Amino acid sequence: MAAKRKVTLFYDERVLAHAPDTDASFLPARLDRRIRQILATLNVPWKYPEHPGRLTAIMQYLEQNPIEGVHLASGRAATAEELGRVHTSAYLKDIYDLRGKNAWLDVDTTAVSPGSIDSAEVAAGTAIAAVESVASGESESAFALVRPPGHHAEPVRARGFCLFNNVAVAAAHAQAELGLERVMIIDWDAHHGNGTQDIFWADPDVLFFDIHRASPFYPGTGALEDIGAGLGEGTTVNVPVPAGSGDAAYLKAFREILEPAANWFKPDLILVSAGFDAHWMDLALNVSYEGFGAMTGAIRAVAQRHCKGRLAFVLEGGYNLESLPRGVHAVLNVLAGAEPIEPGICGFKEVEAAALFHRDAFIPPEDE
Ligand SMILES: [Zn+2]
């Protein structure tokens, strides 16, 4: 029997084949013209920000800064049946028809290149592999390093660089095949996970918790009042926050909203849509590496309380090539057993030390 692995990092190089290049010509021509008009109004030349270099930067950083207890495993492609649990068959057919082509899928510049459909199948399948690994007990926790990301993809629509909703496919698989009925999905990406919300909007067995930068920030959804509907009323939890919100706001939301919600819901499995664009270097919010570590520690505690620690992370956004790898590293470090560091206020320690250094410099002369 294989030794129990504490943390498994799932990575499959086929996710690098998705590489839209704006110099290529795209289908359909009408959408291509419209998007080029939009891009032409920008002051700087536009490059596709969700590119393969994101994942190679993460892998390189992890090789240079290995974490004991983190094991590497390869992924697999999701089948049409697995994707069909959250996407319609008509949508899948449209996407499959784009294999080998360059095409725009949305005016928000979601695009495919010839290798994209294979990458998207592997991204969703690798998220499933991560969930299978924690469900079987082979791993205590897992992280699927995948792209294209997934949380903006709706049942019938690709959006926001996302083709298939990886985390939703993984949740549906856990319910259908692994006997894990109640799934909690935590989305800490800077952007609201509109696709995940849509897919499970009326589903009482999936609790979707999403903290994100508030509308009008992309995609503009995720209002406080959006709590689900029908049987799923109450199992969608949105926490919109303003630009610049950071560690203290995120951790307050975890303590005061996420933890009571989990205690009420009692999940069998926890999934995290882990976007690292909430880091301050990505310029939308103000989370630090210590913040990502502390959030991971809080989620791990909830998973241990309710579901024997079953916890899988799926990569979403994060576009700064310095903070993305270091953010992933901070999460893996805590999953592997490091004690999270309580985030402080940036610069506070340094100012305290400086105050001590200068303490004697400005003492008023004693009165004679
Ligand atoms: Zn994002």
What are the tens digits of pLDDT across the range 302-358? 999 999 999 999 999 999 999 999 999 999 999 999 999 999 988 999 999 999 999
Whether 71 sits among the annotated catalytic residues: the reply is: no
- Percent of residues, the chain, with pLDDT higher than 90: 91
Q: What is the pLDDT of residues 114-143, one digit of tens each?
A: 999 999 999 999 999 999 999 999 999 999
For residue 211, list its beta bridge partners: 239
pLDDT of residue 368: 60
Give the model's pLDDT for residue 119: 98
- The pLDDT of residue 4: 41
Are the C-beta atoms of 146 and 140 separated by less than 8 Å? Answer: no
Reported as a single tens digit per residue, the pLDDT across 74-111 is: 999 999 999 999 999 999 999 999 999 999 999 998 99
Domain coordinates in residue numbering, the chain:
5-357
Average pLDDT, the chain: 95
The confidence score (pLDDT) of residue 1 equals: 38
pLDDT at 46 over 90: no
277 Cα–ligand 1 center, Å? 6
Strands 103-104 and 111-112: antiparallel
The CATH number of domain 5-357 is 3.40.800.20: yes
| Tokens representing residue 321 in the block | 């090539």
Determine the distance separating the centroid of ligand 1 and the alpha carbon of 318, expressed in angstroms. 6
SS3 state of residue 9 = strand
> What are the start-end ranges of the H helices in 141-209?
166-177, 194-199
Q: Can you tell me the mean pLDDT for 273-287?
A: 97
Question: 28, 158 in Cβ contact below 8 A?
Answer: no
Catalytic position from the list 87, 152, 192, 306: 152
Span 243-262, pLDDT tens digits: 999 999 999 999 999 999 99
Q: What is the pLDDT of residues 148-181, one digit of tens each?
A: 999 999 999 999 999 999 999 999 999 999 999 9
Considering only residues 87 and 47, tell me which one the structure prediction assigns the higher pLDDT.
87
Task: Read off the pTM.
Answer: 0.95
Who surrounds ion ligand 1 at CB < 5 A?
189-191, 275, 277, 317
Interval between CA 317 and ligand 1 midpoint (Å): 4
C-alpha distances in Å from residue 328, one per residue of 71, 109, 144, 313: 14, 26, 11, 10
